[in-house]
């Protein structure tokens, strides 16, 4: 009895079933030919974006390191200039005066 009912329904609704089957096949074809390649392209783009973000972070770290090196070099140069201009005597005569002054002070205390 069920077979007869199913067979009758299939015969009577043949057009509807055929249209639904064709729509299902078209949907599967569009998914396979359009959606999947687009999805793969998006995945590839996301991977490239992640790699680019990592490269950017590495470049920022390298820039910060170079900037710190440059700042240290500038500070060292300034300190050396200060040392040469304020602490060291300008010429031999100033060096002698400073040395003899120290020796004289040491001799007095001794």
pLDDT tens by residue, 42-74: 999 999 999 999 999 999 999 999 999 999 999
Tokens 């067979």 — which residue? 7
pLDDT digits (tens, 9 = 90+) for 8-42: 888 888 888 899 999 999 999 998 898 889 999 99
Q: Cβ-count burial of 106 within 10 angstroms (0-12 exposed, 13-18 middle, 19+ buried)?
A: exposed
Task: Give the rounded distance of the alpha carbon of 73 from its chain centre.
Answer: 26
- On whether the pTM is more than 0.85, the answer is no
List the domain range (segments joined by +) for residue 38: 2-109
- What total number of domains does the chain contain? 1
| Tokens coding 6 | 């199913």
């Amino acid at each position: 009895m069920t077979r007869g009912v199913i067979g009758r329904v299939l015969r009577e609704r043949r057009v509807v079933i055929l249209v639904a089957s064709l729509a299902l096949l078209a949907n599967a074809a569009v998914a396979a030919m359009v959606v999947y390649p687009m999805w793969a392209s998006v995945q590839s783009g996301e991977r490239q974006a992640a790699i680019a973000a990592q490269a950017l972070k590495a470049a920022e770290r390298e820039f910060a390191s170079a900037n710190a090196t440059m700042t240290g070099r500038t500070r060292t140069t300034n300190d050396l200039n200060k040392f040469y201009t304020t602490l060291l005597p300008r010429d031999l005569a100033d060096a002698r005066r400073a040395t003899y002054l120290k020796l004289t002070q040491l001799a007095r205390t001794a």
